Chain A
Amino acid sequence: MLIINCPYCGARPELEFAYGGQAHIDRPVQPADLNDEDWTGYLYLRENTKGIHAERWRHLHGCARFFNALRDTRTDHFLATYKVGEKAPEVTRP
């Protein structure tokens, strides 16, 4: 079980969290303006990163808030967590 550092509550066990998919994918402001291909990209196309992955988590059984995290998919180690709206911090691999 991972330890995840909620930016609002601090370090908590993985059991309290829910995964929320890749981070930093903004819903288009006017979806109607997108052509089919771009809309399909928004809906379905995601990274499959081997390495540092920016992803959303939700502290479901805690403060219930969404936040973002940088996780190394090779080791499962969290390198940083940060609030929605913030830019991903610079990290170096451990």
Chain B
Amino acid sequence: MSKQFRIKGTGRVDPSRPINFTFDGKSYTGHQGDTLASALLANGVHLVGRSFKYHRPRGILGIGADEPNALVGIRRDAARYTPNLLATQVELYEGLNAVSQNRNPSLEHDRMEVNDKWLSRFIPAGFYYKTFMWPKSAWDKWYEPRIREAAGLGVAPSQPDPDVYTQRYAHCDVLVIGAGPAGLAAAKEAAATGARVILADDRPVMGGSLLAAADTNISGEGEDWYSAGAWRKEVLAFLEKQPNVTLLPRTIAFGYYPHNWIGLCEKLTDHLAVLARGAPRERLWQVRAAQVVIATGAIERPLVFPENDRPGIMLADAARTYLQEYGVAVGQKVAVVTAHDSGYRAAHELKAVGVDIAVIADIRGRSVVSDRAVQAGLNVLTEAKIEGTSGKLRVSSITMTAAGMRSNFACDAVLMAGGFTPSVHLFSQSRGKLVWDNKLQAYLPGDSAEAERSAGASRGRFALAEALADGVDAGREAAQAAGFTPGTPAFHPQVTVKHAIGSGGYLGAAPTSADLSKAKAFVDWQNDVTAKDIVLATREGFLSIEHVKRYTTTGMATDQGKLSNINALGIVSEATGRSIPQIGLTTFRTPYTPITFGTLAGHARGMLFDPARVTAINDWAVAQGAAFEDVGNWKRAHYFPKHGEDLHAAVNRECLGVRKSVGIFDASTLGKIEIVGPDAAEFMNRFFVNAWTKLGVGKCRYGVLLREDGFVTDDGVVGRVAKDRFHVTTTTGGAARVLGMMEDYLQTEWGDLKVWLTSTTEQWSVIAVQGPKAREVIAPLIEDLDVSAEAFPHMSIGDGKICGVPLRLMRVSFTGELGFEVNVPSGYGRMVWEAIWERGKAFDMVPYGTETMHVLRAEKGYIIVGQETDGTVTPDDAGLGWAIGKAKPDFVGKRSLQRPALTAPDRKQLVGLISSDGRTVLEEGAQIVDPAAPKVPIGHVTSSYYSAVLGKPIALALVRGGRQRLGESLYVPMPDSVIGVQVAPTVFFDPEGARVNV
């Protein structure tokens, strides 16, 4: 069967290299160079899909990235299944396995076809909004799953993507997008100036419309003339030789981002029968171009008439291109419906290879072009109305009215020539202004926002000679703008053609006697939107095209309305009596065509998705079987379960171990900043709330940091290690933010201060040793520092040696126990940790994680910034008013603390809560109410744990006027119960603080 559709001696496919492939399990043969679409058409197959909503049979409509119907899935192996590929872009390879989508069980017999026959009148425009509003709960359970099942695209692959994707950055002087006649000419001219040129084209072979140009000759600079094919070869051969030119076929420019940053996706392996192991499938190019030439051509427009969606009905120039590029006739008896001279060109060229042209129906009047067709023996109707078509799985006839006569023409294909829409997507993405051209009836690029220019059909220069000249000029101008000098005067080639592309075109619904409010005249094939839907939307008051689009879903499918948007505009214009510029234009968004997540993710998958920060002690904790939690990018030991303990059992044991004897904790993730300089103390005074001048060398102080608005933003212990040197610690998550804030004030406000800031977070490993036996554990390991209770009291800092390596020891406690934080250069962290661990064994030392750290500090009422504070908490709210240096004239945030709202008496204050039943652990975040006015929450729980040492749950909370409520009974309402609580002081354990001072 295939033989009769393949035209010998035409096209660039290689008949000597047959390729076997399957579609829906059936075997076919194509040629090397075919796409799946051209190979199917060569086998007489038009039916390739079912439509989105109505499940109508659909055929191949176009030939490129604009195809709305021919979506297929390609399966290579169990893991490699790619849905929603366009058959018009899938290159044929031996063994290709393609399947159709959105049908059940088969394309020929689809059960959901009832949608078309019985339900379509219940599925008008906006039906999603009208039908599924009630009851609300039914949406998730009932409506959505069923709609998804019925209205679907391909099925997502079920296994992780086994392929590798790669990415690269590139710079160039001139990026030319599109390698049709204008793009080739531009690239050639720019390259000749010495500029670095990248030429990208989405197809495997460069040349664009030149590949399908029949009986076309182009003049060279001498007396010589070239056929279109020879000219293309000549230019490409020149470009390939230039060291300053990079040619990227199979590469789609999908996004135009600010400052001439262009995203390209290069497909590397999808066309290969056998994949090389480990070879990347796609490459993302992120190109920064000094100048861009957009030569993306134009998209052919379909005509909107009743039943214009049967398989076999397709775009006229696409059909002509299938013939000239692939040697494929799309039918044996073809009807042409046209509003543009290019429809005649298609008819002439198909007739020349023996295809029977049933009729040319021109909706326009008589013209030179129509007369020439009549002279050539073609049957031409002018001022035709298109009434409808017939045929179940393939069009079999078309009905027209002309000169008052209604006639039916048998055919196996219908070609639509509605004119051409310049492809302005990338220009519009670059934020260039589009301008409506009344003569061409098209939006064209107007003022540029970026360093770019459009050339050729993408700005309405459709005729080959015009496109070539435009490309020449654009290439030269771009190179010049990038700082290069074009040589000899510009040469614009002359062109001779047998059948010119001509002019014409139509927007909106084509003339018909049929009632468009009943007929199915499709505007958007992919989303099943008809002229009727769009008219209905305007009748219901949707006037802006942005609203019409969302209400009808026209242009919202994966093809982004490449074929449909302009016709939709035409219909709205006619229905509302407003001009197209008045209606506006929907926004062109990236990506131009769908891009795989793989391309965008590149190597950033799995372990490489996000960097993991680990401390020097991490591997030890892993070996101990610790459970980990993420804190920012840090991996922190959460708890150390023993013998199948759960979190609670492990934490209770760890807490008691610390309180009874001693524990060891990796605090290395704490932020650390060294503040050095003659003005270090003054800087500290201005930055933190505390007073620092009188802090002696060798002493520590708990520092509180506010934002300028008066709210707590960070805290940490600060040690003065020399008169001009402070060792500042910050929260783990706040380290970068605090350093950035310090730099901000130092660089932009306090230029008078001589201070240098250095992040030392990763220079120090910090080993917290906490518990009554802490000193006994570490003292014998330490040299050159007296750590006795008398010489080194609570809140001391000093340098010495431990295990023979440099030590900065801080006597600080976040547990309420005698405690030390052993700082050693992180390269020694693991060694010193293990030495302390060995000594600790005699004291039953426990390693503990962040959860136990949280419980121990909560028992002492120590806050965690970000848990007890939420950006609206002042030092006084958090019970930290004592930390403020009252005598200081100023510090960051001081003025704000005097604002009326921040001094109001009923602010939320930090208090403790005890569950009245002595058992219930409250939920963090739970709201708190006063029984006197139970409808208004007066606060919330900030921290809540079971305290093993106290044998009961404890909680911290922010409660309105909380410190005045000590002893009061309040309630915590939960979905299934109400929990009674008592307000208590924030310090639950050792309120006198005796245990730290031993």
Contact = CB atoms under 8 A, between A and B. Distances in A.
B689 to A, nearest CB: 14
Nearest to B286: A1
Contacts of B740: 18, 58, 60
Nearest to A84: B748
B542 interface: no
B14 interface: no
Given A1-B259, A1-B261, A66 B744 contact: yes
A27 interface: yes
B708 interface: yes
A75 interface: yes
Nearest to A56: B748
B896 A3 contact: no
Contact of A43 (B259, B286, B889, B896): B896
Contacts of A2: 258-259
B288 interface: yes
B747 A84 contact: yes
Interface in B877-917: 889-890, 894-896, 898-900
A64 B743 contact: yes
Interface string A2-35: 1100000000000000101000001110111010
A86 interface: no
Interface in A66-89: 66, 75-77, 84-85
B257 interface: yes
Contacts of B751: 85
Interface in B243-264: 257-259, 261
Interface string A36-55: 10011001000000000000
B899 A20 contact: no
Contacts of B749: 26-27
Contacts of A36: 898-900
B747 A31 contact: no
Contacts of B257: 1
Nearest to B747: A66
Given A27-B749, A75-B449, A76-B258, A66 B743 contact: yes
Given A18-B740, A65-B747, A39 B896 contact: yes
B857 interface: no
B364 interface: no
Contact of A39 (B431, B744, B748, B895): B895
Contacts of A75: 258, 431, 449
B434 to A, nearest CB: 16
B709 interface: yes
A18 B894 CA distance: 26
Contacts of B889: 30, 32
Contacts of A1: 257-259, 261, 286
Contacts of A77: 258-259
B485 to A, nearest CB: 24
B748 A31 contact: no
Nearest to A25: B748
A76 to B, nearest CB: 5
Nearest to B709: A43
Nearest to A65: B747
Nearest to A34: B895
Contacts of A76: 258-259
Contacts of A56: 748
Range class of the B interface residue count: 20 to 34
Contacts of A40: 899
A60 B743 CA distance: 10
Nearest to B894: A31
B288 A3 contact: yes
Nearest to B893: A31
A32 B744 contact: no
Given A30-B890, A32-B889, A76-B258, A20 B288 contact: no
A85 B749 CA distance: 10
Contact of B259 (A3, A18, A32, A85): A3
Contacts of A64: 743
A60 B741 CA distance: 12
A45 B685 CA distance: 27
Nearest to B257: A1
A36 B449 CA distance: 44
A42 to B, nearest CB: 8
Contacts of A18: 740
A79 B1 CA distance: 65
B258 A31 contact: no
Contacts of A32: 889-890, 894-895
A65 B751 CA distance: 13
Nearest to B890: A31
Nearest to B431: A75
Nearest to B261: A1
B737 to A, nearest CB: 11
Contacts of A28: 895
Interface in B740-761: 740, 743-744, 747-749, 751
Contacts of A66: 743-744, 747-748
Interface string B705-732: 0001100000000000000000000000
Nearest to A26: B749
B277 to A, nearest CB: 33
B895 to A, nearest CB: 4
A2 to B, nearest CB: 5
A23 B752 CA distance: 20
Contacts of B900: 36
Interface string B691-704: 00000000000000
A39 B708 CA distance: 10
A34 B890 CA distance: 12
Of B747, B889, B894, the most chain A CB neighbours within 10 A belong to: B747
Contacts of A60: 740
Contacts of B743: 58, 64, 66
A28 to B, nearest CB: 8
Contacts of A34: 895
Contacts of A20: 744
A26 B750 CA distance: 11
Contacts of B708: 27, 43
Contacts of B449: 75
A18 B743 CA distance: 13
A27 B890 CA distance: 12
A5 to B, nearest CB: 11
A31 B894 CA distance: 8
A18 B739 CA distance: 14
Contacts of A58: 740, 743-744
A83 B431 CA distance: 30
A62 to B, nearest CB: 13
Interface string B434-474: 00000000000000010000000000000000000000000
B898 to A, nearest CB: 8
A30 B449 CA distance: 45
Nearest to A32: B895
A71 to B, nearest CB: 11
Nearest to B901: A36
B899 A39 contact: yes
A66 to B, nearest CB: 5
Contacts of A3: 259, 288
Contacts of A65: 747
Nearest to B746: A66
A43 B706 CA distance: 13
Nearest to A43: B709
Contacts of B709: 43
Given A66-B747, A77-B259, 4 more contacts: A27-B708, A56-B748, A58-B740, A75-B449
Closest 6 CB pairs of A and B: A31-B895, A3-B259, A76-B258, A66-B747, A27-B749, A1-B261
Interface of A: 1-3, 18, 20, 26-28, 30-32, 34, 36, 39-40, 43, 56, 58, 60, 64-66, 75-77, 84-85
19 contacts: A1-B258, A1-B259, A1-B261, A2-B258, A2-B259, A20-B744, A27-B749, A32-B894, A36-B898, A36-B899, A43-B708, A58-B740, A64-B743, A66-B743, A66-B748, A75-B431, A77-B258, A84-B747, A84-B748
